[in-house]
Amino acid sequence: MSAFDLPIEQLWTYRPPRDEPADFDLFWKQTLADARRPDLAVACDPVDAGLSTVDTFDLTFAGYGGQRVHAWLVRPHGAAERLPCFVQYVGYGGGRGCVTEHLLWASAGYAHIVMDARGQGNDTPDLVVPADGGESGHVTRGSRDPATYYYRRLFTDAVRCVEAARALPWVDPARIVVGGVSQGGGIGLAVAALDPAVAALLCDVPFLCHWPRAVRMALRPPYADVAELCARLRHRADGVLATLRYFDGLHFAARATAPAVFSAALLDQTCPPSTVFAAYNHYAGPKEMVVFPFNDHEGGGAPHAQWQLGRTRELLA
């Protein structure tokens, strides 16, 4: 049982109503259509990381607004055949990190792409930063309007990253898996809805789900940063919550059909388990949930990642 959220018996059936905007689908259709006007312009430059069992590359492509977005690509050394590919999105406040941090999936025979999060890492600045006083981090940036909100740009980058993966000659376009942990899981959930051709979703302790409950319940940032903004600038609270309706994992979950593996930690005070189960219970495709009864937001860690390798192999088969 969670220390502060619903009991596990209630979590399995927790399926709150979705309060999605009437133009939700049109908003994302137009956003992606605009993003696709510039050429994808995929570039893949070798990086010497001093490794002999994998090949490493700096992958770049045109994301939101045509801006160059960076990602690491790691693949088995000398691989010539088309490989299954895991496109990974990173947690909040971090970028793609060091290429040597990302060796697991390539060691298992995958092409592994780790996308930089614009403005959060060191390699991809967020060149479109609306003037919007009173913000406290990426989660509130541009939150006056869905058109200027930070996650409109980041979700678009994430979809374009999958399109860049398909353009690579050593990636099997029919076997692209998306996902990540926390923010990465929430981004992966959005991509699974916006790009229905992805083969599977790995959605671990996802952030960006069930905003109305999350911002009132989470004890830590990033959700707590939204609550703090709404408390400090009370006249903006309704507008912020209206913006967040366009970026709620519940609405994406209802549109995603790829096989999905979720995970939730019952002591998670960053992404409360009820917000994760809300997305899971709305998910439209084949799905399974892994529960960590005694873990906080660290989730399943390395043992879970190792388990995911075998489970992903089964899903792609």
pLDDT in tens, 63-95: 999 999 999 999 999 998 999 999 999 999 989
| CATH code of 30's domain | 3.40.50.1820
Q: Is 52 a catalytic residue?
A: no
Q: Is 274 a catalytic residue?
A: no
**Residue pair 176/196 in contact by the 8 Å Cβ criterion:** no
**Residue 119 within a domain:** yes
**In which domain, by residue range, is 130 found?**
8-316
Instruction: Render the burial of 229-246: b for 16+ CB within 10 Å, e for the rest.
Output: bbeeeeebbeebbebbbb
Residue 184 to residue 188: CA distance in whole angstroms: 6
**Residue pair 188/161 in contact by the 8 Å Cβ criterion:** no
Whole-model pTM: value is: 0.96
Residue 259 to residue 110: CA distance in whole angstroms: 18
Q: How confident is the model at residue 4 (pLDDT cuts 50, 70, 90)?
A: confident
Segment 219-233 mean pLDDT: 93
- Looking at the 3D structure of the chain, how many domains does it have? 1
Residue in 143, 182, 263, 274 annotated catalytic:
182
**Residue 1 within a domain:** no
Residue in 268, 274, 282, 304 annotated catalytic:
268
Q: Is 297 a catalytic residue?
A: yes
**Residue 3 within a domain:** no
**Residue 195 within a domain:** yes
- pLDDT (tens digit per residue) in 237-255: 999 999 999 999 999 999 9
**Residue 2 within a domain:** no
pLDDT at 3 over 80: no
Q: Kindly state the greatest CA–CA separation across the chain.
A: 58
- pLDDT (tens digit per residue) in 190-218: 999 999 999 999 999 999 999 999 999 99
Strand partners, 112: 74, 86
Residue in 112, 138, 251, 297 annotated catalytic:
297
pLDDT at 122: 87
pLDDT at 1 over 60: no
- Angstrom CA distances, 228 to 24, 148, 272, stand at 26, 20, 17
**Residue 238 within a domain:** yes
